[in-house]
Amino acid sequence: MATLEQCQAAVASLVERLAQVDTETRRTYAVERTVACRVRDLGVVFLATFDDDGTISEVVTAETGTAQVRLTASSDDLIALIEGRLAPAAAWATGRLKIDASVLDLLKLRALL
């Protein structure tokens, strides 16, 4: 099981990677949305908000959170997903990743990653 600090570092690296996406691409695919990622084994939720140009606000850690896009994974799977060692489709198909979002939101977020 990964630690909270390891998960925070992985999420921070994802935010940095998204910040490097060119502005025009972000504006094309990003819409104002709040994303929540619940880490089952740590009992924590990472919350981030995309504004309408695709910029991510500061990521906060909470015990609960509401969002338009909700993901749930274990700490190890979260890190593997962010690092690219686990494909989101495979994680979802095997139950390692739970996704609650509209198809349009998923397609737009996928285009950014």
This prediction's pTM: 0.86
Q: Are 37 and 105 in contact (CB under 8 A)?
A: no
- Separation CA 40–CA 73 (nearest Å): 6
Reported as a single tens digit per residue, the pLDDT across 29-45 is: 777 888 999 999 999 99
Domain range list for the chain: 4-105
CA 99 distance to own-chain centroid: 10
Mean pLDDT of 42-64: 84
Q: How confident is the model at residue 113 (pLDDT cuts 50, 70, 90)?
A: low
Which among 45, 42, 43 has a CA at the least distance from the CA of 34? 45
- The answer on pLDDT for 107 being more than 90 is no
What CATH number does domain 4-105 carry, 3.30.70.360, 3.40.1710.10, 3.30.1050.10, 3.30.750.24?
Answer: 3.30.1050.10
- What DSSP line would sit under 15-33, residue for residue? HHHHHTS-HHHHHHH--SE
- 11-20 pLDDT, tens digit per residue, is 999 888 888 8
Tell me, rounded to whole angstroms, the distance of Cα 60 from its chain centroid.
Answer: 12
